[in-house]
Amino acid sequence: MPANTAESAAMERAFSLALRGPRGINPQVGAVILSPDGDILAEGWHRGAGTPHAEVDALSKLAPGEAGGATAVVTLEPCNHTGRTGPCSEALLDAGVARVVYAVDDPGDASSGGAERLRAAGVEVEAGVRADEGRALLRDWLEVQRLGRPRVTVKWAQSLDGRAAADDGTSKWITGPVARADVHVRRAGADAIVVGTGTLLADDPALTARQPDGSLSDHQPRPVVLGARAVPAAAAVHRHPLPLLHRDGRDLAAVLEELGGLGVQRVFVEGGPTLASAFVRAGFADEVLAYIAPVLLGGARLALGDLGVDTIAQARRLSVASVERLGDDLLIVATMQHEGEN
């Protein structure tokens, strides 16, 4: 039976509850328990790895038997496996829930199957309620499940003729203040920001996300520096509110795996050209942000280096998602199509 008005409203409430939980290895999930008359009996959300899942959190606020005949409205399909906590499908069955409404199917091989388990036990299940909103809420987590690693955005700023710096190495500032402010907004949306030691030693970046007035944004990406050279003790990155992760960067897959294990879902690669090229060449660039300034520099300091492209047939082709004017500059956002994708 399709979701009724009370269940749709409860799903909207569950979305807002989900956002109270932390981003990380586990998805943000919210749950609302409705009485047979459509009244809210309890609410819950997932507070992070090792804590009760949203459904169990909501059920814990009810007396034994109070959920009998109730409807559970959940943003993600109830899990069907035992990890740090037990399966939510079994908890719902034990509580006597008669109907389950959820937005998004669980993509995990081990954790999915909760809907099937509930139906087999006689519980009415309605899937895909407000699914577009549910997928938007879980977009980054779902992408991590699909890719098996964090989603990577590679950003660079360049002159109109494709240079990242003048021949003497200076690059502040190729783009204008509007474009630079946009970068900080996107930094604040990431979980980790990555630069190479060359950029760190040349520019001494703080790697923080800042507001136009210079104050720190509420959300900060974790600073990551890749390269064999040492990070100076006086480097600005040491004053970042989050601890620095410094790796030699020779194994980008291992770096992404480590970041994923730390709960990172979105990685923002700021370069320089050597590092940006390495991520593209390795096939780890999912999105590209190219900030293009109306200046000409010439010279050898290209925005990208060797990508492993020897002939036009090997060109890395992208799909342009948007083109935006930022002051005098342009921002082109493009997505990379990986091998095997349609």
Q: Length of the chain, please?
A: 342
With CA atoms as reference, report the closest residue to 334 among 285, 276, 270, 269: 285
CA 215 to chain centre: 24
Return the structure tokens found at 74.
């959940």
Instruction: Exactly one of 7, 12, 43, 55 is catalytic; name it.
Output: 55
Provide DSSP, 125-172: EE--TTHHHHHHHTHHHHHHHHHTS-EEEEEEEEETTSBSS-TTS--T
What CA–CA distance (Å, rounded) separates 59 from 216?
38
* Residue 74 contacts residue 55 (beta carbons within 8 Å): yes
Q: What H or E segment, with its residue span, contains residue 74?
A: strand 71-76
With CA atoms as reference, report the closest residue to 182 among 217, 222, 152: 217
What is the residue type of 238?
H
With CA atoms as reference, report the closest residue to 207 among 236, 172, 249: 236
What CA–CA distance (Å, rounded) separates 250 from 197?
12
Provide DSSP, 225-277: EESSSPPPTT-GGGGSSS--EEE--S-HHHHHHHHHHTT--EEEEEE-HHHHH
* Residue 271 contacts residue 305 (beta carbons within 8 Å): no
Beta bridge partners of 71: 34, 99
For the question of residue 55 being annotated catalytic, the response is yes
CA atoms in the 13 A half-sphere facing the CB of 136: 7
- Residues tagged active-site: 55
